[in-house]
Chain A
């Protein structure tokens, strides 16, 4: 089959690889009909994630048709149309019982490696380095899905791929980010980052009862999408001082909750930005927390900071004194996608959410390298790339 494989920094190639096979009784093989490139794939593309090996198949947002089933999968049939969640969860461990699917205790065969890095191992993830198990990903024609009796969700007729594909990752991610804010009536929410996750976070915040949502970015097309499609008020941080503006807009309180939909490759301005870049190049700092620093200071006293952006290692100079002394709550995590797929599918069916509106580019799987390039460089006003094998 054809699959998009990682070969190094700024180097992904679509090549001929062996078809996947059933390896365990609870596996399924999915023939992929649609897949996408995620913002976090760019961290792999930019060489920021360790333990990648040449030839690793990328991709963790995918859906398709069941073509083969392991003998222990009883809830699915050949031919079922499913969306596959990006964290791989067994459904049996303590974490899964608590619905903390992204920290499943059993699905990472490289748990020891992850334990060294992070203290305990989270769940395995499709196509996201050997630290999370080295599972072959879904930017391909077929994929092997472990624990198929737990993860994949069946899609009813009447919805096309583009409407439901993002149940695999970015829609639940935006939703969980908003849910983690603990939104109550009258709350003002600020969202840093107007990529697809940011857009869904804004939309979810309104659905969950926010009175006002303020979105922050620097790319005009993303700010425009936030205004026109997601109904946010926008701030361009290259044109205004965001901290000041937020103070003005909230009567000096600051937003009740803040969402970080930016992550470890934040664009840094000024001296602090230069500091982060230098330290990152010298491998003294692994992540650039520019947005996070601003977020932690801007949040209202006693408010919540909800971190959806991906971080990998260590960050420098976090204003933790501000966090502690002002009683902030921090909620974060890789999305527990399995928890949200069914409720969000229902919202899509009811028309509360229209996830396909974030798609700006559609291409064939074979064009994946070009897709990565324009997505990384934000060329052609690229916001989301969907690939069809």
Chain B
């Protein structure tokens, strides 16, 4: 693939004709067919549940702190104000943690731990002579119910946290990342325009090959060996400036991408900005591929793109020499790829 070697070479319009004329320069995402939703537009059930659990923790914690005897009576256990106050502080801390943090995952799990502790305490208290069995049972059921909600919220939050830059609006995932490349915009454009380069810097892609000048066939393979294939069309192609592509209508995988090549300030090369949308598949293959599951995967992909453009190769140590590895380390490395 020929790369221009000097400055800002003029791209040959005949080779890469622009798909849309000047007048139709709408936001590229509007052509993708996948509705671009804003972050807080839609009902976010998990977010609401997390919020509710946060307030529940605060409320319960305050009650336990300020009125331990009442709480003890209601739960049918003996009166232990010091213990109940300590539990109340813990609840309050969890609640405040959940409400304050943008990533409440850890605090949600602390609630689960607290629930486990409460259930254990209730079991012990229920066995003692001063307990009102029916009330204890009711309290335990309530705690168990809340535990289930905590676990659900915790799991969903963990999944979302690892999405990194993804805004989970509805079911489509939207990822954005940019990187500075020390090369003129046209050079960056040409490397990206040759979609056959994608497997060199995007992980989990087995191949991308052209069916025509503007249609490409993608094959992706997950670490487990599962494989998906789909076709995309290039919708916008302004050499040296912007590229946008989208899955064809009946493709198994619905995804779209836009990449912009803007000159970085003060002659520092190019700012490459990538935006990708996709509809997640069961099994999370697309998540792994497009970076939603492992935060920073897309960062690594862009880092490798930068290496490809700047140095002509991807920095690697795979296949290098090494001494005897412990069996555990060898197993771990095989499992984690």
Contacts and interface: CB of A to CB of B under 8 A. Distances in A.
Interface residues on chain A, size class: 35 or more
Given A25-B313, A134-B317, A106 B306 contact: yes
A53 B328 CA distance: 11
Contacts of B300: 111-112
B320 interface: yes
B197 to A, nearest CB: 15
A23 interface: yes
B14 interface: no
A67 interface: no
Contacts of A106: 306-307, 310-311, 315
A26 B324 contact: no
B306 A136 contact: no
B322 interface: yes
Given A92-B182, A94-B268, A57 B322 contact: yes
Interface in B143-181: 180
Nearest to B311: A90
Contacts, number: 109
A336 interface: no
Contacts of A93: 182, 306, 310-311
Interface in A84-118: 90-94, 97, 105-109, 111-112
Nearest to A70: B313
Contacts of B180: 94
B314 A54 contact: no
A23 B322 contact: no
A133 B321 contact: no
B323 interface: yes
Contacts of A248: none
A60 to B, nearest CB: 14
Interface in B283-337: 296, 299-300, 303, 306-307, 310-326, 329
A18 B323 CA distance: 8
B310 A92 contact: yes
Main secondary structure of the interface of A (DSSP, over half): loop
Nearest to A107: B315
A133 B320 contact: no
A72 B312 contact: yes
Contact of A136 (B269, B313, B317, B324): B317
Given A54-B329, A111-B303, A124 B321 contact: no
Contacts of B318: 23
A15 interface: yes
Contact of B313 (A6, A21, A24): A24
Given A93-B310, A112-B296, A57 B315 contact: no
Given A3-B321, A15-B323, A90 B316 contact: no
A3 B323 contact: yes
A252 to B, nearest CB: 45
Contacts of A18: 321-322
Contacts of A135: 317, 320
B317 A17 contact: no
A53 B329 contact: yes
A133 B296 contact: no
A135 B320 CA distance: 8
B326 A90 contact: no
A25 B313 CA distance: 7
A166 interface: no
15 contacts: A3-B323, A5-B324, A6-B323, A15-B323, A17-B322, A19-B321, A20-B321, A55-B322, A55-B323, A57-B322, A94-B269, A106-B311, A133-B315, A135-B317, A135-B320
Interface of A: 1, 3, 5-7, 13, 15, 17-21, 23-26, 53-57, 72, 90-94, 97, 105-109, 111-112, 124, 133-136, 140, 142, 144, 146-147
Given A24-B314, A57-B323, 20 more contacts: A1-B321, A3-B323, A13-B323, A17-B322, A17-B324, A21-B321, A23-B318, A23-B319, A24-B316, A25-B313, A26-B312, A57-B321, A91-B311, A93-B311, A105-B306, A105-B310, A106-B310, A135-B320, A136-B320, A144-B320
Interface of B: 180, 182, 268-269, 296, 299-300, 303, 306-307, 310-326, 329
